[in-house]
Amino acid sequence: MQARMKNPAMLLPGAMESVQSLFKATKEGGVPDTTMELVHLRVSQVNGCSACVDAGAKNAKKGGETDERLFAVAAWRETSYFTDAERAALNLAEHATRLADRGDAVPDDVWDEVADHYDEKGLAAIVLMIAVTNLFNRLNATTRQVAGAW
């Protein structure tokens, strides 16, 4: 596999710095890094972004995530590896990524469940992580960035 072009955010002045600033801001919400990495990985799996799945799994592993949990993210509903708070974040990640799959993209029960576990700053961080990951996924998938190439 070969990329169609460099990542567009690397080609336009200031674009990558802006995206990285948004990504860095997600760290300020008080949500555990492991949860944020799981959210990033799940969004990337849903979108089929091989570069982000690869990078996300590697970053999570560096952060101390276990192989069992990384292997199970795609089937998080059917495992006992995740806390209720992580499950709520993963559920929100899927709903906010698959916006067109239902009339009410993020139903109140999904939102209420995640809001039971995180304060407003934490919710902001999770929503921003979902949005930034979707941005990365769209850039990488469209231009066919190669997993492991960076």
Q: What is the DSSP string of 46-80?
A: HHT-HHHHHHHHHHHHHTT--HHHHHHGGGGGG-S
Do 145 and 7 meet the contact criterion of CB atoms below 8 Å apart?
yes
Q: What percent of the chain has pLDDT over 70?
A: 99
> Per-residue confidence at 7, pLDDT binned at 50, 70, 90?
confident
For the ranges 4-13, 66-75, 92-101, which has the lowest average pLDDT?
4-13
State the virtual CA torsion across 33, 38, 43, 45 in degrees, nearest 10. 140
Query: What integer is the mean pLDDT of 73-90?
Result: 97
- Can you give the pTM of this predicted structure? 0.93
What's the CA gap between 135 and 50, in Å, rounded?
14
Residue type present at position 6: K
Residue ranges and CATH numbers for the domains of the chain are 8-142 (1.20.1290.10)
Dump pLDDT digits (tens) for 56-65: 999 999 999 9
Asked whether residue 31 carries a pLDDT value surpassing 90, the answer given is: yes
What local confidence, expressed as pLDDT, does residue 143 receive?
A: 93
